């Protein structure tokens, strides 16, 4: 029991004792009075849902790659188990890399699945100072089955405007506009804020 509910429950008990005759007299009719226990949710403010939409760019080769491999398992591990990268990827408003940049995706990801192409993702989305979510961040931590076109990963927290955020990201690979050097993923992020 949390400490703040304790005095409430005590007051409720006192209330019941004081009004006991009242309750028993009304029970002489057909229906028993309903006694509502104080619920911890009664005073909870309604949660606000926010959706974010942006495009994520893995630049894997060329003059300015934004993804760097940091672990290269020496032997042929199943499905590349252990292969790990660090990224600092642009997030843009539209699918084109030259469209307005709204932030960066900074973090690590790697192969963590023996039986299929499953990756772990640990990404901080840092939103640009000049954008709508100025200087705020969201953290995503999840499993990414990269061979599926659409994946879901949890949003586990945030800072600034996104303090106490929780939610999920839907990521969709845009194969039609991606290449070996440049991979584009569309992100729809839904978060609930207190």
Is residue 166 part of the contact set for ligand NAG (CB under 6 A)?
Answer: no
Q: How far is the CB of 41 from ligand NAG (least distance, A)?
A: 30
Is residue 177 part of the contact set for ligand NAG (CB under 6 A)?
Answer: no
Residue with Cβ nearer ligand NAG (84 or 187) = 187
Is residue 172 part of the contact set for ligand NAG (CB under 6 A)?
Answer: yes
From the list 83, 106, 188, 192, which residue makes contact with ligand NAG (rule: CB under 6 A)?
188
Is residue 81 part of the contact set for ligand NAG (CB under 6 A)?
Answer: no
From the list 70, 71, 150, 177, which residue makes contact with ligand NAG (rule: CB under 6 A)?
150
Tokens of 119: 């990756």
Contact present, 184 and 174 (Cβ < 8 Å): yes
Task: Give the integer Cα–Cα distance in Å for 173 and 148.
Answer: 8
From the list 97, 170, 174, 193, which residue makes contact with ligand NAG (rule: CB under 6 A)?
170
Is residue 149 part of the contact set for ligand NAG (CB under 6 A)?
Answer: no
| Pick from 34, 18, 36: nearest CA to 26 | 34
Contact present, 113 and 140 (Cβ < 8 Å): no
Contact present, 55 and 95 (Cβ < 8 Å): yes
Q: What's the chain's Rg over C-alpha atoms?
A: 25
Q: How far is the CB of 190 from ligand NAG (least distance, A)?
A: 10
Binding mask 38-57 for ligand NAG (x = CB under 6 A): ---------------x----
Contact present, 175 and 150 (Cβ < 8 Å): no
Is residue 16 part of the contact set for ligand NAG (CB under 6 A)?
Answer: no
Is residue 174 part of the contact set for ligand NAG (CB under 6 A)?
Answer: no
Contact present, 167 and 189 (Cβ < 8 Å): yes
Residue with Cβ nearer ligand NAG (6 or 53) = 53
Task: Give the integer Cα–Cα distance in Å for 56 and 90.
Answer: 6
Contact present, 66 and 88 (Cβ < 8 Å): yes
Query: What residues line the site for ligand NAG (CB under 6 A)?
Result: 53, 150, 170, 172, 186, 188
């Amino acid at each position: 029991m949390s400490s703040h509910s304790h005095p409430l429950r005590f007051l409720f008990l006192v209330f019941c004792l004081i009004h006991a005759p009242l309750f028993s007299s009304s029970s002489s009719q057909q229906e028993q009075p309903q006694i509502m226990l104080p619920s911890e949710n009664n005073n909870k403010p309604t949660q606000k849902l926010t959706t974010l939409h942006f495009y994520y760019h893995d630049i894997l080769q060329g003059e300015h790659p934004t993804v760097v491999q940091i672990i290269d398992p020496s032997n042929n591990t199943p499905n590349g188990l252990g292969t790990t990268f660090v990224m600092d990827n642009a997030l843009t408003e539209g699918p084109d890399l030259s469209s307005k940049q709204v932030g960066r995706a900074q973090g690590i990801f790697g192969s963590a699945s023996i039986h299929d192409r499953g990756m772990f993702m640990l990404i901080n989305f840092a939103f640009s100072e000049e954008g709508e979510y100025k200087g705020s961040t969201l953290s995503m931590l999840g499993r990414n089955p990269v061979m599926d076109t659409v994946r879901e990963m949890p949003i586990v927290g945030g800072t600034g405007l996104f303090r106490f955020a929780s939610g999920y990201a839907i990521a969709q690979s845009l194969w039609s506009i991606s290449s070996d050097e440049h991979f584009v993923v569309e992100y729809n992020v839904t978060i609930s804020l207190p």
